[in-house]
A and B are shown apart, each in its own frame.
Chain A
Amino acid sequence: MILSLPMLAEMIFHPFGWMLPGGEWTMLVLTTIIMAVSAGPFWQSAWASFTKHHSNMDTLVAIGTATAYFYSIYAMITHQAVFFESAAFVTTFVLLGQVFEERMRNNASNAVDKLVNLQAKEASVLRNGELIKVPLSEVAVGDLIRVKPGEKIAVDGVITKGSSAIDESMVTGESMPVEKHAGDRVIGSTLNSNGTFMFKAEKVGSDTMLSQIVELVRKAQNSHAPIQKLTDQVSNIFVPIVLIISILTFLVWYVLLGASVANALIFAVSVVVIACPCALGLATPTALMVGTGRSAKMGILIKNGEVLEAVNDVTTVVFDKTGTITMGKPEVTDIVGDQSQILPLAASLEANSEHPLAAAVLAKAKGEGITVAPAADFQAIEGKGVAATVNGQTAFIGNDKLLADHNMIDDLKQTAIKLQTAAKTVVYVGLDHQVIGLIAIQDAPKATSKEAIAALKQRGLKTVMLTGDNERVAKAIADQVGIDSVIADVLPADKADHVKMLQQTGKVAFVGDGINDAPALTVADVGIAMGSGTDIAIESGGIVLVKNDLRDVDRALAMSRKTFNRIKLNLFWAFVYNVLGIPVAAGAFYAIGLTLSPELAGLAMAFSSLSVVTSSVLLNRAKITTNVSETA
């Protein structure tokens, strides 16, 4: 590299009548050294792939420089103009470009390493009644671990004693510390701030949340975006085509246009040197790597390139209601009917149910100190409710679909409608065939839902709420948060079908968290799972929002679009570069005085890959325009 410096001087000063001492002989010696030392590896690689019927960038560099070098020797012998410096400079520039590029590429891929480094190195584990420090790898499920202020939590688990505020920002991206007490879950690798507590390890090694996230991000970073298929195909035929074009260039200039061998050769060499398939190959993976890495830091896990690309065309966002728009913690607000009779009856019926509304009823019953009478002969009425025998009578509880088979007095009907319009879900409790009372349950929307929906609407997206809940309740919630349309009374099994129907008008993103959302998450073009959701929902989603904040939907969309646009930009430049650069190098614009010397072509080639990688790395700093307020 240093050797090419005197030649640079020579090139600059040549027009002023200054020559290197020794002239051509010095150049020959310097170039020969450069070729032998630096260009050797290019040759070795080019030849190895040639024997396998492959070609690569090295093929181009090797052929380009060798042509310039050997022609110059021939020209020197026959006393014609030489261009040793071309061979020397091209080699130098390409090598230089590679050094920068590799640094940038490492830069792009280190997001995952950073995540892995977050792990605690050791933990204070209670063994035989004594606290001893053991390395992270020896922590087992069931171990009791003590965490002091300022220490990192080693693995995932549940607090058994004590409490503390925990900074979970490294995993969830949420900057505010979270207050945790006995019984609360803690996440491995998060930072304990002020309290000391003991916790029981539940997940270790590759099962911990951080390990799962790292695995996810790693897969995403190396996944293929569909847009890449084009470059996959191009890369295989690119180099041979360039070689053919270069020979044609030489033939056209030398045979048809009657240029001198030297000039024709310069054009041919420029073509070989400027073509850069690597920029095409690097355009997508590097941007994908940086984009998914950055969103992971924000608590948004994008699973692969396909999702990223699909997000771009989404026109409708469909939300599940419970747990997604609302907090998912329903509470009993009103009991209509005989207070002493309704609640105990409801509690008996719901005692074995896993329905979220049942939990609300049971919690209320427990709060009132009611002892639950046993029920027998349970019968689930699919999508409607349950019936059972309590104290020798047939009792039932369920939603308004039950009303078809049961009687209810008008007074109760009116009250039910009133409660529903106030966004409360009404559960009907009855004996024999008569409805005797109502329980109103409310699941309030999350504080951030309204802002999140508004942000999406500002993007011009249609918002839809899909819920199994009653139309009036759903409508009331939708009005509170500003959702456009509501599809209510949907049976769990039909959610996916409704998504399919919406897909007929455009690409659909579905946001959900429950087991019953899994099919819809899979069917949707983009499935967005809330991080608090069930494992199966997270498995089915293409994007996982770790923070559980609905506003992240907007951020995820913004980030995906930004990344995808960067991929397109990269590809555009890489293509333009090759498509425009080659004709210029071939001398197609010679008539208007636009030509490229091999040196410039070499420089341009080196910087094309570099610029693509740099543009990807800059994605880390790019401003993400979201319509939601920033939480750092």
Chain B
Amino acid sequence: MIKMFVLIVGLVLIGFIAWWFFGKHAVATETADVTNDVQEIDVDVNGGYSPEKVVLKKGVPAVLNFTRRDPSTCLDRVVFPDFGINRELPKGEKQAIDIDTSKPGEFQWACGMDMFHGKLIIK
């Protein structure tokens, strides 16, 4: 009887994990506002990036402010492979990263180990 109960709990747990991680969930998206000819967005780094998707306007200088609150070394760097940026994010410090918005397109960013991803859309 106990075994049956454990089995059911285990299977429910598996179902939950599958739904929670693989199911479709809305991604936090933010579009930058242009003030004084500069578009700026704050990205909070805590167990991932929020927002995870950033939309920037083409041709306007852009700054992404990354602040890492997560203690994990997993997120201690942020890498923009298309822009050649690999920046250390000391915990609790705001790191301003300048983005070249001259070319439109979709660009990925990731943590140093390529486990967490974010997306940059320039249009």
Contacts and interface: CB of A to CB of B under 8 A. Distances in A.
Interface of A: 40-42, 44-58, 98, 101-102, 105, 109, 215, 218-224, 228, 231-232, 235-237, 239-240, 243-244, 247-248, 250-251, 254-255, 277-278, 281-282, 284-285
Contact of B115 (A56, A101, A221, A247): A56
B79 A278 contact: no
Interface in B61-118: 69-76, 79-81, 83-86, 112-117
Which 5 pairs, one residue from A and one from B, show the smallest C-beta to C-beta distance? A48-B47, A49-B47, A219-B84, A41-B71, A45-B72
B38 interface: no
Interface in B38-56: 46-48, 50, 52
Contacts of B13: 247
A20 B90 CA distance: 40
Contact of A54 (B17, B48, B80): B48
Interface string B1-19: 0010011001101100110
A278 B84 contact: no
11 contacts: A42-B72, A50-B20, A53-B20, A54-B48, A56-B115, A56-B116, A224-B81, A240-B20, A244-B18, A255-B10, A277-B115
Contact of B86 (A40, A46, A109): A109
B114 A102 contact: no
Contact of A56 (B11, B18, B74): B74
Given A47-B47, A243-B17, A255-B6, A218 B84 contact: yes
B10 A285 contact: no
Given A254-B6, A255-B7, A52 B85 contact: no
Contact of B85 (A50, A222, A250): A222
Given A47-B47, A215-B84, A232 B114 contact: yes
B71 A278 contact: no
A235 B114 CA distance: 8
Given A251-B11, A284-B114, 19 more contacts: A45-B47, A47-B47, A48-B47, A49-B116, A50-B47, A52-B47, A52-B48, A53-B23, A53-B25, A57-B74, A105-B112, A222-B79, A239-B21, A240-B18, A247-B17, A250-B10, A255-B3, A255-B10, A282-B113
Nearest to B26: A53
Contacts of B79: 222, 285
A47 B6 CA distance: 25
A54 B47 CA distance: 7
Contact of B71 (A45, A228, A243, A244): A45
B114 A41 contact: no
B21 A231 contact: no
Given A235-B114, A240-B17, A255-B3, A223 B81 contact: yes
A255 B47 CA distance: 34
A56 B22 contact: no
Contacts of B116: 49, 54, 56
